[in-house]
């Protein structure tokens, strides 16, 4: 269980994340939603300690994540894989090597410096690529792939890291609808088949409702909604997104009565 207690991060006088408390059980698929600037990225960056909090605490099992440093902090970051909107692959390296970089925390320093990957590590990386239909691209340069393909490679790299949590920061923001589906399906497999907790920042409410078990809605750094997709009515969405609501709520799709929506999720 990931427990966040009174988490705050200020930049100057502005609170990007403001007194956020959440409990996230292992195996959850949580969508973090909200308009641009709501604090979604900062929340994810605080969880893997790319940013340090101004106040509050993060606990994972018996670890006080906010107090970690040195080797213990590196171990936490290994347990907490992150994927980004811009994929963050090494473009000139081939796809397989990019995935193997996710194994760096599992191998000796000599192996990591010389990149002498064992047959086992290579098999694990190839199997991860195969899981997302990317095995046949193993020997191509990463920069030669489409955005959606690169994101699936990034997800394979995260998987071989064997994390407990995957943090995905707007992973589909630059993708077309077909690649969006492939990447969201890949995240769903990471969650459902491999049991990894996924926290995913999403701009699209429809996608968040379709894929996530739980939605956390943020506005001005605070959590203003926490529940299942069917509880987030279009009225709440409009309050959450303000003027941007038209971009995230498909006005042409009639919303079924709450009882029907609940039945669909049962
Ligand atoms: N390093 C920083 N320095 C100063 N201000 C920052 C920094 N990082 C974030 N902020 C501010 O904190 C607020 C929240 O930013 P954040 O990136 O977390 O929002 P977001 O919901 O992820 O937005 P987006 O969907 O556009 O990525 C914004 O007002 C942003 O300008």
In a domain, 49, yes or no: yes
Dihedral sign of CA atoms 106, 108, 111, 114 in order:
positive
pLDDT for res 130: 93
Cα(25)–Cα(194) distance, rounded to whole angstroms?
15
C-beta atoms surrounding 120 within 10 Å: 10
Q: Judge whether 123 lies within some domain.
A: no
Nearest residue by C-alpha to atom 12 in ligand 1? 16
Question: Residue 41 CA: which ligand 1 atom is closest?
Answer: 22
**204 Cβ below 6 A of ligand 1:** no
Ligand 1 and 34: CB distance under 6 A: yes
Which residues span the domain enclosing 246? 2-88+166-265
The answer to whether the beta carbons of residues 86 and 114 sit under 8 Å apart is no
Q: How far is the CA of 42 from the centre of ligand 1 (A)?
A: 6
Give residue 12's pLDDT.
93
80-84: strand order across its sheet: 80-84, 165-169, 197-202, 29-33, 214-219, 222-227
User: Ligand 1: which atom is nearest the Cα of residue 218?
Assistant: 21
Mutation pick for ligand 1 pocket among 18, 42, 172, 173 (CB with most ligand atoms within 8 Å): 42
Beta bridge partners of 223: 218
Q: Are 95 and 140 in contact (CB under 8 A)?
A: yes
Q: CATH number of the domain at 214, please.
A: 3.40.50.300
**What is this structure's pTM?**
0.87
pLDDT on residue 255 = 40
pLDDT at position 241: 79
pLDDT per residue as tens, the chain (266 positions) = 999 999 999 999 999 999 999 999 999 999 999 988 999 999 999 999 999 999 999 999 999 999 999 999 999 999 999 999 888 899 999 999 999 999 887 766 555 556 678 888 899 999 999 989 999 999 999 999 999 999 999 999 999 999 999 999 999 988 888 889 999 999 999 999 999 999 999 988 889 999 999 999 999 999 999 999 888 887 777 777 775 555 555 543 334 444 443 444 33
Using alpha carbons only, give the angle 206, 131, 33 rounded to the nearest 5 degrees. Answer: 25
pLDDT value of residue 237: 79
Using CA atoms, how far apart are residues 145 and 18, in angstroms rounded to an integer? 39
Q: How far is the CA of 39 from the centre of ligand 1 (A)?
A: 6
* Residue 196 dihedral angles phi and psi, to the nearest 5°: -85, 135
Q: Name which of 225, 190, 209 is nearest 265 in CA terms.
A: 209
Residue 236 pLDDT: 79
Residue 125 falls inside a structural domain: no
Three-class DSSP labels, the chain? CEEEEEEEEEECCEEEEEEEEEEECCCCEEEEECCCCCCHHHHHHHHCCCCCCCEEEEEECCEEHHHCCHHHHHHHHHHEEEEECCCCCCCCCEHHHHHHHHHHHHCCHHHHHHCCCCHHHHHHHHHHHHHCCCHHHCCCEHHHCCHHHHHHHHHHHHHHCCCCEEEEECCCCCCCHHHHHHHHHHHHHHHHCCCCEEEEEECCHHHHHHHCCEEEEEECCEEEEEECHHHCCHHHHHHHHHHHHHHHCCCCCCCCCHHHHHHHHC
Residue 136 CB–ligand 1 contact under 6 Å: no
Q: Which pLDDT belongs to residue 262?
A: 44
Cα 44 to ligand 1 centroid, rounded to whole Å = 11
Q: 100 lies in a domain?
A: no
Query: What count of Cα atoms within 13 Å lies in the side-chain half-sphere of residue 194?
Result: 23
Please check whether residue 180 is in contact with residue 207, taking contact to mean a CB–CB distance below 8 angstroms. Answer: yes
| 47: in domain | yes
Among 20, 41, 203, the mutation site with the greatest number of ligand 1 atoms within 8 A of its Cβ is 41
Q: How far is the CA of 37 from the centre of ligand 1 (A)?
A: 5
In a domain, 103, yes or no: no
Is 11's C-beta closer than 6 angstroms to any atom of ligand 1? yes
Question: Structural domain tally of the chain?
Answer: 1
Q: Is residue 152 part of a domain?
A: no
Ligand 1 binding pocket includes 16 (Cβ within 6 Å): yes
Domain assignment present for 122: no
């Amino acid at each position: 269980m990931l427990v966040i207690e009174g988490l705050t991060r200020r930049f100057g006088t502005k609170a990007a994340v403001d007194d956020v408390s959440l409990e996230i059980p292992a195996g959850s698929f949580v969508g973090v939603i909200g308009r641009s600037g709501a604090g979604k990225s900062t929340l994810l960056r605080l969880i893997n300690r790319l940013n340090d909090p101004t106040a509050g605490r993060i606990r994972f099992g018996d670890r006080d994540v906010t107090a970690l440093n040195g080797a213990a902090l590196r171990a936490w970051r290994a347990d907490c894989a992150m994927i980004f909107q811009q994929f963050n692959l090494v473009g000139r390296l081939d796809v397989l090597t990019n995935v193997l970089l996710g194994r760096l925390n599992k191998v000796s320093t000599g192996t990591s410096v010389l990149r002498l990957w064992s047959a086992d590590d290579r098999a694990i990386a190839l199997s991860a690529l195969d899981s997302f239909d990317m095995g046949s691209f193993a020997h191509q340069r990463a920069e030669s792939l489409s955005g959606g393909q690169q994101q699936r490679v990034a997800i394979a790299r995260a998987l071989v890291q064997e994390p407990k949590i995957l943090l995905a920061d707007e992973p589909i923001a630059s993708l077309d609808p077909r690649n969006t589906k492939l990447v969201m399906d890949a995240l769903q497999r990471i969650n459902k088949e491999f049991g990894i907790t996924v926290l995913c920042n999403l701009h699209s409410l429809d996608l968040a409702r379709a894929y996530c078990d739980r939605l956390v809605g943020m506005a001005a750094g605070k959590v203003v909604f926490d529940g299942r997709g069917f509880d987030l009515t279009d009225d709440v969405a409009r309050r959450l997104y303000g003027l941007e609501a038209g971009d995230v709520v498909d006005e042409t799709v009639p919303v079924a009565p709450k009882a029907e929506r609940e039945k669909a999720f049962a």
